[in-house]
Structure formats: structure tokens, C-alpha cells
Chains A and B, each alone.
Chain A
Amino acid sequence: MAAPGSGLQRFADVAGDGAPRLDAAAGEELVRVDRAASVALGGRSPEPPGTLFVTTRRVIWLSEAEKGKGYAVDFLAITLHAVSRDLEAYPSPCLYTQIEAEIGTDDEAGESNPEANDELELSKVSEMHIILGDPGQFLEIVLGIANTCILDRASVDALFDVFCHCAELNPDPNAERNGENGWFHGEDRTGGGWVHGDEDMVDENGPQFFNANPIGQNGEYDLSHSVFEVRKEFVYLQINDQRFEDAEEEQESHENGH
């Protein structure tokens, strides 16, 4: 099995019934299946329809037309997902996703020339659209265009929620938890109290987070420090207030690290 979180990969581990073989031993479960779904990698045109399988760990797409052709990407590598309603580009609202790819742009993967070579460098693909087909094509004829759009919208919105759910199931292995589980929407504030620094996020090694290593490039990079680096940067660089002057020393060394 390929290393998790390493971006978009080819997938061909298919069982006899056409379903992908999952890592059941590790607890991977199927969450959602969409027939007649297509994917568009990078800036390329959508592939002929296939089947989308969303599991608790990754997203797999298997081509219907070309047996043996398939792609998979771990949720660890899906950095962003959103509903896109660009009806000029795609026939229906679709799910737009960004994938953490190798350094090096989609240009090398043929994005600037979508019709070009078949040899797509998957590791450099950083964008993927997922277009849901309309499995109820009979419904489309009967209900008319407006209702079809509603069906499409509902499907892709549901897929968006599924992606949110599965992304939450796949936090970074070394990510620091911030205490409470679940999402905070702002309606039910429990006093808005501050989480005390002595209970969590104590970095016993001191401020070691101002490293020059670019985050994500070095596989051995300490993710716990990289996460902390993000947070500190958030504080010291973005608040331009003179009361933060005592942090200038760290700010300078951090800027050197960039």
C-alpha cells in the first residue's frame, strides 16, 4: 500500500465485484458510493463517467469505460474542498478539491494543455473536480431542468458534507488537539473562556518552531512543531499592535525562516 497522504495516485486494487479493496484491517469503511461520477484532474476535461467510492480514509474513483483505470487520494492529502457551481466549465455543480501535491506545479502535469499527453504526473496534480452524474436520468426527463438542478445540488451538497465528515476522521497524525471535540459554530458559547496554556499545547522544548525547513517537504519534519509554527505565526505576524513588541525577536527569526 502506498504511503498515506502522498497525493493523488493510481488505484487498481479492485475486487471481483468491481468494488475497491479497502484496508478493513485498519478499519477503513465505505461511506458513500456515487455511480456515474466523473473526475477532472488538474485542468483536464472530465473523464468518462465511473464510480466514486468515498471511504473513511480516502476517495477512490474507478473508471467505468476503462477497466483497471482508477485514482485514489487520501483525505490526509485533500487540503480543501468546496462546492463549485461553474456551469460554464462543468455540466453540473461539482465538488472542487485541492490536493497536496509535490512541489512543482500543475503546468508540468499538463494543466496548461489539457488535451495533451496521456502521461499525467499524478503526484503533481493539485486540483480535482468531482462531477456527479445524474443516476436518475429518467427523473431528469420527467421533472424538467429546474428539478434536475435541484437534484444535482442536493447530491453535491451531500457529497460536500461527506467530505467534511471524512476529513475530520483523518487529522494529521501528529496534530495537537485543541481540547473539545466537534465543531464550534458560535451559537452555544460556554462562557467563551480561554483554554489555559498550562493544560495543553505546552511546548516543553521551548520555541523551536522557527525552522527554515519548508513545511511538508521533509518527510521527517516534526509535524507537531510545524503546526505550532503556523499558530505562532498567526499571532505574531498578523496582529500589528505595539503591545506585541516583546515578540519582535521571535518575529524576526521567523521571517528569516521563510
Chain B
Amino acid sequence: LFFSYFKELVGKEVTVELKNDLAIRGTLHSVDQYLNIKLENTRVVDQDKYPHMLSVRNCFIRGSVVRYVLLPQDGVDIDILHDATRREARGG
């Protein structure tokens, strides 16, 4: 489900929050089957905590470390997502 959904998000602005609380905002460049994420035009949400990220513009994030991905409100097709998760919850 999520890989397909992520494909819809490519090119959109997302914020990825990692399990270490780091939040990175950027344009979703690509995603793979393990939900590894490549972001472009990145900027860190909480810059004080990770000053080394200030000069970073593109990054690769391991899928296993992503806590969640914040989506743009208007970039989300709620109907598709809703139907798909319902289908998922029912076990297909």
C-alpha cells in the first residue's frame, strides 16, 4: 500500500520525521520498495539540534528509521488513501 502511495507523492513537499526526532522537510525525489527516501531541497525543521544538517540539500533516509511522513494537506488525495486503507484493514 504505502509504496504505491509514496509514488503519488514524488515531487511533492513532505516532512520526514525520524525516530531520533529529527524532522527534515524537502521535496520527495524518490522512494524504493523498502521506503528508503531520497529528499531534495532539504531543510531541517529543528535546526538547533542538528546543526550539521544546515548545509545539506539532498539526503538519503533509510526506510527503517522513518517514524512518519507529514504530507501536504492539499497534496493528498484523501479518497484514494481512505479506500486503500480500508481495504487494507479488512485484509483485502
* A residues with CB within 8 A of B: 78-86, 89, 96, 98, 100, 126-127, 129, 160, 163-164, 167-168, 171-172, 175, 177-186, 189, 192-199, 201-204, 207, 215-216, 223, 227, 230-231, 233-235, 237-239, 241, 243-244, 247
> Once bound together, how far apart are the Cα atoms of A227 and B71, in whole Å?
19
Contact B19 A216 (CB under 8 A): yes
Interface of B is mostly: mixed
> Once bound together, how far apart are the Cα atoms of A171 and B58, in whole Å?
21
Residues of chain A within 8 A (CB-CB) of B65 are 79-80, 100
> Once bound together, how far apart are the Cα atoms of A194 and B20, in whole Å?
31
Contact A195 B1 (CB under 8 A): yes
Contact A178 B53 (CB under 8 A): no
Contact A82 B42 (CB under 8 A): yes
| A239-B76 contact, Cβ under 8 Å, with A78-B62, A80-B62, A193-B4 | yes
A165 to chain B, nearest CB (A): 10
Q: How many A-B residue pairs have CB under 8 A?
A: 166
Contact size range, B = 35 or more
Contact B30 A186 (CB under 8 A): yes
Measured CB to CB, the nearest residue on chain A to B82 is: A243
Residues of chain B within 8 A (CB-CB) of A100 are 65
> Once bound together, how far apart are the Cα atoms of A199 and B4, in whole Å?
13
> Once bound together, how far apart are the Cα atoms of A129 and B38, in whole Å?
19
Give 29 A-B contacts (CB < 8 Å), ordered by A residue.
A79-B61, A80-B22, A80-B62, A82-B59, A86-B52, A89-B52, A96-B52, A98-B20, A126-B20, A160-B58, A164-B38, A167-B62, A172-B64, A175-B63, A175-B64, A184-B6, A186-B7, A186-B11, A193-B4, A194-B84, A195-B1, A195-B3, A201-B1, A202-B92, A203-B91, A215-B19, A239-B71, A243-B82, A244-B82
